[in-house]
Structure 1
Amino acid sequence: MVTRHPYLPRIARAAALALLATTAAGCGLLDSDSAGEADGAPAFTVAAAGDILIHPQLTEQARKDAKDAGSTDTGGKGIDFDRTMAGIKPVISKADLGICHFEPVVGKPQGPFQSFPDFLVPPQITTTIKNVGYDTCSTASNHSLDHGPAGVRRTLDALDAAGLKHTGSARTREESVKPLILDVKGVKVAQLSYTLGFNGREVPADKPWLANRTSFDKIAAAEKAARAAGAEVVILSIHWGREHHPDPGTPQLKLARRLAEETGIDLVIGHHAHVVQPMEKIDGTWVAYGLGNQLARHEVPSGLTEEGIIGWFEFRKKGDGWDVQARYVPTLVTIPPDADESAGPAGAAGTGTEPDSAGETPGVKDHRLVNVAEALRDNKQLSDQERARYRLAFERTQGTMLNRGASKDGLKPLQDLPG
């Protein structure tokens, strides 16, 4: 049962929501309970974010954070991603349903680990994903088959152990055909997950159900199956598009229109580009073409690859369907300068810092995932360079979000950029 607020006393709920609404610069979507109660219509909120893809630098950061916290547990606590992802917890944990996109394959708790092209990452990241407030993850990606059926099983076992639901890959045929349907404030919400391919790998002939490859017909059939199983809302997570291109490609645009016009899917959330792509409302259906990276550290950071968004969607029952309002939260992964390199420019490496007269680099010291608007408002210790970098991330993301005309349909940031 994916329900948070109803378990709190009404007064505590109201106080918590009022506090969060204050930080949201007057945007009332965070106060989903009172909105739903006002007219008696079923309502719930969804927070969905981009690719989680753990590169070696992030694992080393997690080792450092665990050591700094005094952990000596080699069974798992020696790698801890909680501090890295803590900056987004206030948003994700307040949504009624948190959806992550888990792209890589997990290994054993102490490794060995691998990076591009065949990812094998610490399973400890799944615990952090749960800790920040996610409820479910899509697992169909171009890396799903990096380590074959054993990798799929190990990854799904780790998500299970962390208490996370998942869809997009499967350990058995029976698991693959059972729709994932979650109870969200009394509403049955289904999640689907599909990917454009597997980096040239083929799904094993004797296990065609191992991971979902994109096909309009298969997606349409999966939506119908979810409806037949009782789903009132269907959300599609889709791994598609061109990597590192902020503009959606023609295949994305065509498929998005077919999904919006020829299926009953209520929301499409996209991944894979590793950079933010716009949102667009098509025939009444919101399509987030690309949410960018939630957490990643590419070998050559581009500035764009450190930026992402959390999509925030409020669903409210309206007649026989659902009215969906869309917002977005710009995020940024801060990257400390490499030990053997000076810091890069603000728009490139994501630091915007230079050594001072003592040879020390001010500002960014650790890899951290931050909510840009909150950090600008609340963190009084930011250097001028950091503030400039954060504002760049917010403004660039905002321009991308709106470049297919979504402002006319009400798309705006969940939290405004501080003055």
Structure 2
Amino acid sequence: MALALVALGDQPARGPARAVPPVTNRLLEPPVPAPGPHPARGFTVIAAGDILLHDGLWAQARRGDGYDFGPLFAHLRDDIRDADLAICHLETPVGRPGGPFSGFPLFNVPPQVAGTLADVGYDTCSTASNHSLDQGEDGIDRTLDALDAAGVNHTGTARDKAEARRLNLLTVNGIVVAHLSYTFSFNGLSRPAGRHWRANYLTRSATAVLAEARRARAAGARFTIVSLHWGTEYQHDPDDFQRAVADRLLASADVDLIVGHHAHVVQPLQRLHGKWVAYGMGNEVAWQHQAQDTRDGIMPVFTVTQTRPGEYRVTRVEVIPIHMWLDGGRAVALSVPACLGDKGLSAAVRRSCRASLRRTQPVLFRLGARKAGLVVRTR
């Protein structure tokens, strides 16, 4: 895809993924597929790392009385919209349209980001993270209201007990797909007494995840994706907790794919029990200066194929490396392959993308992913 340095315009038509009722997002509600053979043999899924809106990013996005995050994500839009199903991770709660807003440690970010997530092509977003409770119950409510208004499905936090029980199911090429979301931490904050359903909590036994995955399968899901907020920040290798949970979940017939967040650096992919886990996808957008590798991320594209009637597996994984360009007060998320191939970009930008690729590529293969067939897109 050509790299276009343009702001996003009016919201384009949505992609093929649609929610299966009952769902929170009524804007994407089609008829329930009739029983019988699935009409398609598979689909593609793209996932991305943390959307972590530090104050530098929303200061840059300020436009008069509002905020426009389109230019921040614009260079990733082609790849996101190419997939049949696109999954994001909104790590921080949103505030009221006019603020006040805040950054670390208790985030409260502009809600206009939700409209941008829809514009670039995201179909569903995980919201369980260590920052889910930063603004209390009001922050959860505002975040889910904003995603609903934008037409983006969500999972991981809830406004009421019924919503917490409601499965996040989508139809993709006629195939019912479930998307789940859990976090291992709330940064020392506690869920409200008697209302633990407000945010999904991940334990080492992963009992709650497995129970929801079983419910999804019983409700007709043929492929279940779990977004997990876990791991050790700024550490490229998955920790013991991640490895134990991944092994337990992927050993289950009810879980098909895990995509991970929180470390803020890229972690490896691994094939376990014939399935895939992306332990950590780094940052999709963030303004971090801890080290150069906090500016790196990945967008894995998983090709899901029908292996026999009613059963689907990931048969191909291609990783698109991405890079946050932060220079002179300007931030933009770049697709590394597009960046390297665009002679219209400055030499400094292309050097930065090349350095990002050199950091990311070796990490991806640490746990045998090359032999398992992982491909890294470089052009």
Q: Structure 2 length as normaliser, TM-score? A: 0.87
Residue of structure 2 aligned with 1:310, choices 291, 294, 299: 299
AA in 2 matched with 1:110? G
Equivalent residues of 1:2, 1:96 under 8 A apart: no
Residue of structure 2 aligned with 1:374, choices 315, 327, 338: 338
2:173 counterpart of 1:185: yes
Deviations 1:292-345 (A, max 9, x none): 0001112x341111110001001010115323111111101111235xxxxxxx
Determine the C-alpha separation between the residues in 2 that align with 1:367 and 1:45: 29
- Comparing both chains, which one has the higher relative contact order based on Cα–Cα distances under 8 Å and sequence gaps of 6 or more? 2
**1:295 aligned residue:** 285
**2:9 aligned residue:** none
2:317 counterpart of 1:326: yes
2:69 counterpart of 1:57: no
Equivalent residues of 1:41, 1:316 under 8 A apart: no
**2:364 aligned residue:** 401
Please give the residue correspondences for 1:70-89 in structure 2 after superposition, counting only pairs within 5 Å. Answer: 72=64, 74=65, 78-89=66-77
Residue of structure 2 aligned with 1:237, choices 215, 227, 232: 227
AA in 2 matched with 1:314? T
AA in 1 matched with 2:349? E
Residue of structure 1 aligned with 2:353, choices 390, 394, 397: 390
Determine the C-alpha separation between the residues in 2 that align with 1:80 and 1:122: 10
2:105 counterpart of 1:105: no
CA drift at 1:131: 0.6
CA drift at 1:258: 1.1
Secondary structure in structure 1 of the residue aligned to 2:226: strand
Secondary structure in structure 2 of the residue aligned to 1:85: helix
Determine the C-alpha separation between the residues in 1 that align with 2:313 and 2:184: 29
Asked which structure has the greater CA Rg, the reply is: 1
Determine the C-alpha separation between the residues in 2 that align with 1:398 and 1:301: 20
Equivalent residues of 1:279, 1:404 under 8 A apart: yes
Please give the residue correspondences for 1:262-301 in structure 2 after superposition, counting only pairs within 5 Å. Answer: 262-298=252-288, 300-301=289-290
CA drift at 1:410: 0.7
**2:375 aligned residue:** 412
Deviations 1:98-153 (A, max 9, x none): 00001001001121110111000000111111111101100000000111111100
2:16 counterpart of 1:4: yes
Determine the C-alpha separation between the residues in 2 that align with 1:41 and 1:136: 21
More helix by share: 1
Determine the C-alpha separation between the residues in 2 that align with 1:3 and 1:380: 29
Deviations 1:195-235 (A, max 9, x none): 00101111111212100000311111010011111111100
Secondary structure in structure 2 of the residue aligned to 1:93: helix
Cα distance change, pair 142–132 in 1 and its aligned pair in 2 (3 A): same
Determine the C-alpha separation between the residues in 1 that align with 2:92 and 2:343: 32
Secondary structure in structure 1 of the residue aligned to 2:143: helix
CA drift at 1:95: 0.6
Please give the residue correspondences for 1:156-195 in structure 2 after superposition, counting only pairs within 5 Å. Answer: 156-195=144-183
Secondary structure in structure 1 of the residue aligned to 2:44: strand
AA in 1 matched with 2:362? G
Secondary structure in structure 2 of the residue aligned to 1:160: helix
Determine the C-alpha separation between the residues in 2 that align with 1:390 and 1:172: 44
AA in 2 matched with 1:51? D
**1:251 aligned residue:** 241
AA in 2 matched with 1:416? T
> How many residues align structurally?
343
More strand by share: 2
In structure 2, runs of 5+ residues without a counterpart are 1-12, 18-38
Equivalent residues of 1:2, 1:183 under 8 A apart: no
Determine the C-alpha separation between the residues in 2 that align with 1:330 and 1:87: 12
Determine the C-alpha separation between the residues in 1 that align with 2:169 and 2:231: 27
CA drift at 1:261: 1.4
Determine the C-alpha separation between the residues in 1 that align with 2:40 and 2:110: 42
In structure 1, runs of 5+ residues without a counterpart are 6-39, 67-71, 339-365
**2:41 aligned residue:** 42
Determine the C-alpha separation between the residues in 2 that align with 1:4 and 1:323: 20
Secondary structure in structure 2 of the residue aligned to 1:169: coil
Deviations 1:223-257 (A, max 9, x none): 00111111111000000000010111111111111
Determine the C-alpha separation between the residues in 2 that align with 1:283 and 1:274: 26
Please give the residue correspondences for 1:130-169 in structure 2 after superposition, counting only pairs within 5 Å. Answer: 130-169=118-157
CA drift at 1:387: 2.2
